Structure 1
Amino acid sequence: MNFFATAPPPEALTHPKYRADIDGLRAVAVLSVVGFHAFPGLIVGGFIGVDIFFVISGFLISTIIFGNLQNDSFSYLEFYRRRVRRIFPALVVVLLACLGVGWFGLLASEYEQVGKHTLGGIGFVSNLILWGESGYFNSSAEAKPLLHLWSLAIEEQFYIIWPLLLGLAWKRKWNLLAIAAAVALVSFGVNLLSFPEHAEAAFYSPLSRFWELMIGGLLAYAVLFKPISISKHRNVQSIVGMALIVVGLVFINKARAFPGWWALLPTLGAALLISAGPAAWVNRIVLSNKLAVWFGKISYPLYLWHWPMLSLALILNSGEHTSSTVRVGLVLLSIVLAWLTYKTIETPIRVSNRGSTSQLVSIFFFVGVFATPILFFDGLPQRPVNRDETRVFLDRYNKLHKFGMSDYYQERCDFYDWPTGANKGVVDKACTAVSGSRPAYLLWGDSHAQALSFGFRKNISPMAQLALIATSGCKPKLQHDPENGANKAACQVSNQFAIDFIKKNKPARVFVAQGEEHDLTDWFKVAQFVEANQGELVLVGPVPQWRPSLPVIVAKGLKVQRDYISEGLDAKIIETNAKLRATYANSNVRYVSLIDKLCRANECRARVPSNDEFNLLVIDYGHLTPAGSDFVVKSFLWEQLQPTNLGQLAQLSRP
């Protein structure tokens, strides 16, 4: 997060007058973010603190630029010199700390990722790198210690463009207010148009985020040129502003289409608080108290320190979430490190002008030089930590999960692209290419159906053919229920595509599979629909699920290899299976209980008979491995994949 806009001393004529309440607003922002990262279930909307920071930064930096332009004293060189002196020192320390801890504690693939993200942080392109990876709210994001640098990258990208644009406008005597408003409106429009097809782009793209900084820029213009009218109702403004932020913290969560319209809550709330001025009641009593101001002063290093601490703790704990006590301890340690960074590094460099700008740039460059071989030499696997049996076991499964499942899962048949957040609209035609010569079977569902698809393809009769319509996070439904999340549109398209396929092609059997919430669907109605189109419904029950994940649980007991284990079993999915078995016994819904076949007493099969080195049943909490998929289908679904009689052979799929 960019906090160059630390309110400077009054004697600095080219800087805005120091306001303690803005430091207090920074405290609200940073503590919201820290709270969300440490306890996401408690402070569900805490990530909006980033949006508050954007407004603060845009306001203070734009105030400086407008003031310097008005005084005819603006210098690009001086502006970027100050950026370097403000941003680089604390960032260098945190990057070196992450690289140091990673050297001793991270496996090759993990360290390679840290090297990549370090270079992204140095080049201020972290947001673009993360845009091409998994989303901010995905579980894999928790294992990225430098994930939080995306926001710093967006700010610095903005401050490359904004001063140049303002300088040109001032020189040409263009209307600054019109330009600022145009930039804000265009960016806000890009933000809205990005949903739902490009949700990840909306989150990480500078084009869809600049409007938040521009709210601060517009406010700076208003405060400079219309100071009386904007603070006319200061107490009302401050109360409404704080209320908007509180509403955002409570009602915005990771399932919302964010930023979108929702981001107006924190950004307008922050703008109202800033515009109300230091004399407003909330600003004077709440934001200007000594504790809030203190947290505001250390907000930049606190933002930098807290996430790597939490993320590295997760990684070093074999991917399992640490206890609440540990997380509280890590947050407190982050606060101590932030204070030390502020007192011993940031303040001396800023106040005494210690160290030249060129020296800071050189050190920054050195960090990049150190990180480069980490990225390009596969995370330096020669390090001793890579010989730890447990960590190596988990690393192998993590690599397979992240990089080796695309073909097995047939991701080309997924209407939702998780890495980019795009709703694709169309999929590869081969996914549903059936002819009229053989009976057609349809596998319909979510990512758990994708996991089953490998076993289906491997074991289906050569006298039949398989179509796959399976979209991540999308449960098979006949009606378009409102679904939360960025893939809402993909779910609607995927399910409608399946419905149309069944009507047109009359598959002999429709297999449905999903990860959870099976009991929320009336499968009798689905079966009636399939039967009306000359087919039979086969409801494939869930496989056992483990928390936090089967590889993590198995890794803890590597020395004692067992085929069945009880540790970490999710009781909820066992109960769901029992309900499904009771509901659909002797009905027109053929229910195949995989849990009944994979479990005994209070334990379930964790390993499958296979020559595959990856012989666990599932690769995470409940998605089948390739070996698991083959075993499950071959053992329990093989008969359903064979044409049972000449009548079925004659029941050809219609073109």
Structure 2
Amino acid sequence: MSSHNYLPHIDGLRAIAVLSVFMFHLNFNIFSGGFVGVDVFFVISGYLITGGIYKELLAGRFSLQAFYQRRIKRILPAYFTMVIVVLILSALLYPFMQLKTVAGTAAMSSVFLANIRFAVKESNYFAADVHEDPLLNLWSLGVEEQFYLVIPLLFLLLWRFMPSWFKPAMWLMFILSIVSCLLVMYFGQPKSAFYFPHLRAWEFLAGSILAVAGTAAAKQNLKANVLSVLGLLLVAVPVFTYTQETLFPGVAALPVVLGTVLVLHYGVNGGVAGQILKSAPFIFIGRISYSLYLWHWPVIVFWRYVRFNEILPIDNIGIILASFMLAILSWHFVEMEFRFRVASASYTYYLYTLAGSVIVGAFATFIVFTNGAKNYFNKEANSMIRDSGTLSRFADTQLWVVNNDTEFTYAQLTGLDKNLLIPIGDQTAEKSFLIWGDSHAVSLLPGIDSLARVNNKGGYLLNRQTGISNDRIKYYKHVTQWLQEQQNIEQVFLIQRWSVRLESESQRQFMVNFCNNLKNLGLKTTIFQNVPEFSVDPIVFQARVKILNSFGDFRNSPMVDTTTYKKLTQPYGKLFKKLAKDAAFKILPTDHVFLKNGMYHAMNNEGELLYYDTHHLSPEGSRLLIKSLSDKVF
């Protein structure tokens, strides 16, 4: 295999890889496993790079300097162009917190360590917050660049000093890498296996082993036809069947890697798979695949940002067209210019690399160390963003949310410890109710306290984090035992973020048992539904609107549709319906006051914030909700 012989079926394979990733990032459900396209790229890279090195080693003309020059010309011009454009756009469009995040990724990408940044941060590749970073896709290029830096030198040393070990060493590294990957996946931290190069190296090395295997390109016959089609299927099936819940890479990556190897070897001389891959559309997309991979993700992120995550089919068409347009421009005017038309002395390529790295690194580092350039870009919008609006004190007592307090003793309950049981409502009335929950209970305190005072009711807030969880059984037993001894308490308010607290079957069963215990104590139990949740912090949203309004008119309130809210409550919906049929339980709605014209809003008509983050009510929102339920709460 030669680094200079053009193999059109590889461009076709690149097209499949990049389109799979692109469609996955567009959230097309049918491409639920499209993220495996990156693994196809890894195998192709290992095959092409190792094949070129091996041929030059055999001819006695391999040069590390020439190798790195080719990699610089191939990768870095388009790479740094995209990063610089993204940094500039982020500075113009983002509030300081988001800009600081992007700059942190850019700084690490300037030294080709974006993957390490995400690994150290223990970032879940599929998490929503990570998907707001327009440079997220650089993690895979970080892995590739680290492979390119290490493998050529290692191969050269093996060839010079241990030539008989050249091929066996590849197998040894392949085995060590895949075993390490599997151990980390199933007995360690799966996120590490996703990002760290040594745990992904086996995918590159699968291509490397094929490249030096010494087998001629497969002739076109029935066997080659069948195996090339099988290879395509081994890639395609995961693209359409894997999901974000698939434990990956690990064992799940094996079919993709094997399938890519089969297509690389058996698809070269045609057959059904070869004819598909060598068709004009696939070859064209394959040729621009690098630039398309670079640009598609920033386009998606910025488009969603400007559209406030409300993406319609027409938006997806726009994203696709814009991505392809930028990819073609990048391929023609950047990739091709530097790769084939720019002729310079060898040392200038390293100067280009150093210049790009310094420019990106310096600008990004400046942004990080000035707290997102808070006082340099979008100053007015940044001034609107304050710290979390969560309550920290109530009735002169520090709330548990400050230090995330969880532990308490039965003796503290019986002694009516004022730091554990905070008086709520009318201070002169008998304590007749207990508020029990997580941070959602804290966010409803202003409303419940106001209504309790109006109704001459008094009660307690259990001032501890008491979310539904099996590891909280001891504390639940403390409280139920204490309630059994209280003569005046007749009502318990359960207020939690049920979308998280009741997402598993074990949590729901815990809730059933707990509610039965309260019922057996003869207590009335009032459960507040989950409030609607938003994808954007309302305060950050206001800052975003302020920034974007300088480019045009944008709406000024975060919204979420009723379908999304139904999905949020669906996991525990049956449980709440069952409880509502029992007279001992009352399920109170929490969404109605935020609903207007079929959408839930995080601000009222006067522009007041009803939420202080994506899922906690502000004091104004709390009072509005409780006032609307005034005849149902007590």
Q: TM-score band, normalised by the shorter chain?
A: 0.7 to 0.9
Determine the structure 1 residue equivalent to 2:471. 497
Determine the structure 1 residue equivalent to 2:245. 255
Q: Does 1:294 pair with 2:284?
A: yes
Asked if the contact 1:248/1:266 (under 8 Å) is kept, the reply is yes
269-278 vs 32-41, which moves further: 32-41
| 2:369 aligned residue (372, 376, 401) | 376
Cα deviation code 1:185-225 (max 9, x no counterpart): 33223333334662322222223222221221222232x35
What code does the residue aligned with 1:342 have?
A: W
Which runs of structure 2 are paired with 1:469-484 in the superposition (5 Å)? Answer: 470=467, 476=468
Asked if the contact 1:452/1:629 (under 8 Å) is kept, the reply is no
Cα deviation code 1:130-173 (max 9, x no counterpart): 23164322222232111110000011112222223323332223
Q: Does 1:48 pair with 2:36?
A: yes
Cα deviation code 1:15-58 (max 9, x no counterpart): 26321100110011111111222244342222111111011001
Q: Does 1:282 pair with 2:277?
A: no
Which runs of structure 2 are paired with 1:93-492 in the superposition (5 Å)? Answer: 93-131=81-119, 132=121, 134-170=123-159, 171-173=161-163, 175-195=165-185, 198-222=189-213, 224=214, 233-317=223-307, 319-355=308-344, 356-364=348-356, 365-383=358-376, 385-387=378-380, 393=384, 396=385, 400=388, 431-438=406-413, 449-452=438-441, 466-468=463-465, 470=467, 476=468
Asked if the contact 1:444/1:498 (under 8 Å) is kept, the reply is no
Distance change (3 Å), C-alpha of 1:526 and 1:294: same
What code does the residue aligned with 1:198 have?
A: Q
Separation in structure 1 between the aligned mates of residue 403 and residue 156 of structure 2, nearest angstrom: 47
Distance change (3 Å), C-alpha of 1:55 and 1:586: closer
116-125 vs 182-191, which moves further: 182-191
Q: What SS class does the counterpart of residue 22 from structure 2 fall into?
A: helix
Q: Provide the identity percentage.
A: 25
52-61 vs 139-148, which moves further: 139-148
1:594 deviates by 4.9
Which runs of structure 2 are paired with 1:476-555 in the superposition (5 Å)? Answer: 476=468, 495-499=469-473, 502=476, 508=483, 511=494, 513-516=496-499, 521=508, 524-528=512-516, 539-546=527-534
Q: Does 1:570 pair with 2:544?
A: no
What code does the residue aligned with 1:96 have?
A: I
1:557 deviates by 9.2
91-100 vs 582-591, which moves further: 582-591
Distance change (3 Å), C-alpha of 1:306 and 1:586: closer
Determine the structure 2 residue equivalent to 1:85. 73
Asked if the contact 1:26/1:296 (under 8 Å) is kept, the reply is yes
Distance change (3 Å), C-alpha of 1:549 and 1:437: closer
Separation in structure 2 between the aligned mates of residue 183 and residue 15 of structure 1, nearest angstrom: 23
Asked if the contact 2:527/2:585 (under 8 Å) is kept, the reply is yes
- TM-score, with normalisation over the residues of structure 1? 0.73
Which residues of structure 1 form unaligned runs of 5+? 1-9, 414-429, 471-475, 477-494, 560-564, 645-655
How many residues are treated as equivalent by the alignment? 570
Asked if the contact 2:399/2:463 (under 8 Å) is kept, the reply is no
Distance change (3 Å), C-alpha of 1:590 and 1:386: same
Q: What SS class does the counterpart of residue 354 from structure 1 fall into?
A: coil
Q: Does 1:619 pair with 2:613?
A: yes
Q: What SS class does the counterpart of residue 431 from structure 1 fall into?
A: coil
149-158 vs 137-146, which moves further: 137-146
1:316 deviates by 3.2
Determine the structure 2 residue equivalent to 1:426. none
257-266 vs 541-550, which moves further: 541-550
332-341 vs 549-558, which moves further: 549-558
1:127 deviates by 1.0
Distance change (3 Å), C-alpha of 1:549 and 1:368: closer
Distance change (3 Å), C-alpha of 1:401 and 1:363: farther
Distance change (3 Å), C-alpha of 1:145 and 1:527: same
Q: Does 1:30 pair with 2:24?
A: no
Separation in structure 1 between the aligned mates of residue 436 and residue 199 of structure 2, nearest angstrom: 35
What code does the residue aligned with 1:212 have?
A: E
What code does the residue aligned with 1:162 have?
A: I
Q: Does 1:590 pair with 2:581?
A: no
Distance change (3 Å), C-alpha of 1:42 and 1:369: same
Asked if the contact 2:229/2:272 (under 8 Å) is kept, the reply is yes
Asked if the contact 1:510/1:537 (under 8 Å) is kept, the reply is yes
Max radius of gyration: which structure? 2
1:267 deviates by 1.7
What code does the residue aligned with 1:496 have?
A: N
Q: Does 1:61 pair with 2:49?
A: yes
What code does the residue aligned with 1:221 have?
A: V
What code does the residue aligned with 2:290 have?
A: Y
Separation in structure 1 between the aligned mates of residue 123 and residue 330 of structure 2, nearest angstrom: 31
Distance change (3 Å), C-alpha of 1:444 and 1:637: farther
RMSD of equivalent CA atoms: 4.7
Distance change (3 Å), C-alpha of 1:164 and 1:635: farther
What code does the residue aligned with 1:591 have?
A: K
Distance change (3 Å), C-alpha of 1:498 and 1:187: farther
Separation in structure 1 between the aligned mates of residue 363 and residue 595 of structure 2, nearest angstrom: 52
Asked if the contact 2:498/2:530 (under 8 Å) is kept, the reply is yes
Separation in structure 2 between the aligned mates of residue 633 and residue 190 of structure 1, nearest angstrom: 53
599-608 vs 107-116, which moves further: 599-608
Distance change (3 Å), C-alpha of 1:411 and 1:57: farther
